[in-house]
Amino acid sequence: MKKTTLGPSGIECSAIGLGTWAMGGWMWGGGDNAAAVIAIQASLDAGVNLIDTAPAYGLGRSESIVGTALKGRRQDAVIATKCGLVWHTQQGTHFFDEDGHPVYRYLGRDSIFHECEESLKRLQTDYIDLYITHWQDHTTPVAETMDALLALKKQGKIRAIGVSNVTPEILSEYLKHGPVDAAQERYSLIDREIETALAPLCSEHNVAVLGYSSLALGLLAGPIDPAREFKGDDQRATNPRFSEANRAKLKAFFDALEPLRTHLGCSFGQMMIAWTVARGTVSVALCGARVRQQAIENAGAGSVVLDGEALQLIDAAAKRHLDALA
């Protein structure tokens, strides 16, 4: 497994990380706690040690699953979790409702301290490796937010500071008040907006980039049956990218890459993850998994090597697909 370092923190982790949003069940049509625990442990066994979670993933459910999975193995994992999406207060800005609870974007000092303690309990640990502001709160000065994060770092409750869903301007404001070790942003073969400004800014300031949704919510994992139904609150049911028409168009994309996939001896999902790592835009490619086999397959992408010609073939196929959607 390729390794990387989380910015100025010096924390070493795997270049492929396990994302646990779907394990929380919310917006994914439910979940299976026991299967999720096994998937996390399988990831560790396969060399993936960065485990990314958040309180909002099932209102604490995902964090609790991670805590259970890491019993006796805490030293094997680099835990990234988040703050700033809260349901214990109505301060800040209402963002969404989850299972009947209004959730607010809020990054006030006292709230961050409260969230950190709750996360430590659910994760069954006394420190968090990387603590990330999940979504930005425009009602709280960045200086106040960073002051709280730096205080937690001084106390030893967190080892590194991260931000997520930021603009270059907001990241620059954070950097005025202290070191930022990582920025977590959406990035995949078909979501490359950060390449223009944010990623170069991160590179300039030694901020590691964690790319979430490397498989675009599963869209890039391989051909999807046009007749497949996404049930319950699964967000893909209403996502235009997962419409029957678009799933049919994806066939041409995967058909174009089939010879390369066969040559590499890997799955389509592994090829897409390998592309994300090889591009060099992100330090870590975060990939979701809910069962053991998904976790093992994602980890296997670490051994897939793509040369320049392969990267060009994948880029060209993606461009043709996106042009067809226009």
Catalytic center residues: 57
- Cβ(132)–Cβ(150) below 8 Å: no
Are β-strands 101-105 and 85-86 bridged in parallel, bridged antiparallel, or unpaired?
Answer: antiparallel
- Please report where in the chains the tokens 């139904």 appear, as a residue: 229
The sign of the torsion formed by the CA atoms of 265, 283, 318, 18 equals: positive
C-alpha–C-alpha distance, residues 59 and 228, integer Å: 28
Q: What is the maximum span of the chain, computed from C-alpha positions, in angstroms? A: 55
Q: Which two tokens stand for residue 56?
A: 């909002």
Burial zone of 290 (CB within 10 Å; 0-12 exposed, 13-18 middle, 19+ buried): buried
Contacts of 83 (CB under 8 A, 6+ apart): 55, 107, 111, 112, 115, 116, 119, 131, 132, 133, 134
CA angle 82, 146, 61 (to 5 degrees): 15
- Cβ(136)–Cβ(166) below 8 Å: yes
Closest to 310 (Cα-Cα) out of 249, 245, 259: 259
C-alpha–C-alpha distance, residues 61 and 137, integer Å: 23
CA angle 68, 233, 284 (to 5 degrees): 55
Q: Which residues pair with 101 in a beta bridge?
A: 98
3-state SS class at 124: coil
Q: Which two tokens stand for residue 255?
A: 């058909």
